Chain A
Amino acid sequence: EAGVAQSPRYKIIEKRQSVAFWCNPISGHATLYWYQQILGQGPKLLIQFQNNGVVDDSQLPKDRFSAERLKGVDSTLKIQPAKLEDSAVYLCASSLRQGRNNEQFFGPGTRLTVL
């Protein structure tokens, strides 16, 4: 079974530029998550999709971050414009369905550096 795929693995941009990250979850997984992991901290949930609908985006900075999962499969997270404090690893995860017992499967992450 193929795992969660993310690209790119690394990205360096200057502040005020735009950037986009892509995630392809495990086939058949209905739930998709984007997390931000700042160095030395635990992952913080940015947005959670169930199929192509958003179920939780309470911690997404909506003035600059956006995400979509149009066909209920792969997803894109965008930052526009980027700030220095956005430097972090962006993790994508998927799970089979909703439910407190469901394990999340994580991709390798995209390391973003904003200069």
Chain B
Amino acid sequence: AQSVTQLDSHVSVSEGTPVLLRCNYSSSYSPSLFWYVQHPNKGLQLLLKYTSAATLVKGINGFEAEFKKSETSFHLTKPSAHMSDAAEYFCVVSEVNSGGYQKVTFGTGTKLQVIP
């Protein structure tokens, strides 16, 4: 069985300071991991994904995430927050189950607030 835990439901940072959104996962197989962003009244958009190549993954808008197997973590970071980063962020685990089908599980989300 797979699961995703986003450790913070809300994170508040000042504009220009670093962002850290934490995600831990559990998977029976070799998973892929994703971060999606959801701006208010907008659809979910892919930020980045880890697919067993490089453990440090760079995404759009200056975000990156590091896959750490020993810690079962996939934390999302950005060096300097921008006002436009205010949104909800979802960590997602994906694996192919024994039946050969993709199984996807979303975390509960972290709402990022950026203070001017």
How many A residues, CB 8 Å from partner? 29
Interface on chain A toward B: helix, strand, loop, or mixed SS? loop
Which chain B residues border A3 with CB–CB below 8 Å? 43
Q: Take A31-B102, A42-B109, A44-B106 as given contacts and tell me if A101 and B49 are in contact as well, using a CB distance cutoff of 8 Å.
A: yes
Q: Take A41-B109, A42-B90, A98-B96 as given contacts and tell me if A103 and B104 are in contact as well, using a CB distance cutoff of 8 Å.
A: no
Contact of A45 among B100, B104, B108 (CB under 8 A): B104
Number of A-B contacts (CB under 8 A): 65
Can you name the residue of chain B whose Cβ is closest to the Cβ of A91? B44
Contact of B94 among A40, A44, A100, A109 (CB under 8 A): A100
Asked if residues B103 and A56 are in contact (CB atoms below 8 Å), the reply is yes
Complex-state Cα separation, A25 to B15, whole angstroms: 37
Can you name the residue of chain B whose Cβ is closest to the Cβ of A45? B104
* A99 contacts chain B at the CB level, 8 A cutoff: yes
A interface residues, Cβ below 8 angstroms from B? 3-4, 31, 33, 35, 40-45, 48, 50, 55-56, 91, 93, 95, 98-104, 106-109
B interface residues, Cβ below 8 angstroms from A? 29-32, 34, 36, 42-46, 49, 51, 90, 94-96, 99-109
Q: Can you name 21 A-B pairs with beta carbons within 8 Å?
A: A33-B104, A41-B108, A42-B90, A42-B106, A42-B107, A42-B108, A48-B102, A56-B101, A91-B43, A91-B44, A99-B96, A100-B29, A100-B31, A100-B32, A100-B96, A101-B32, A103-B34, A104-B46, A106-B45, A108-B42, A109-B43
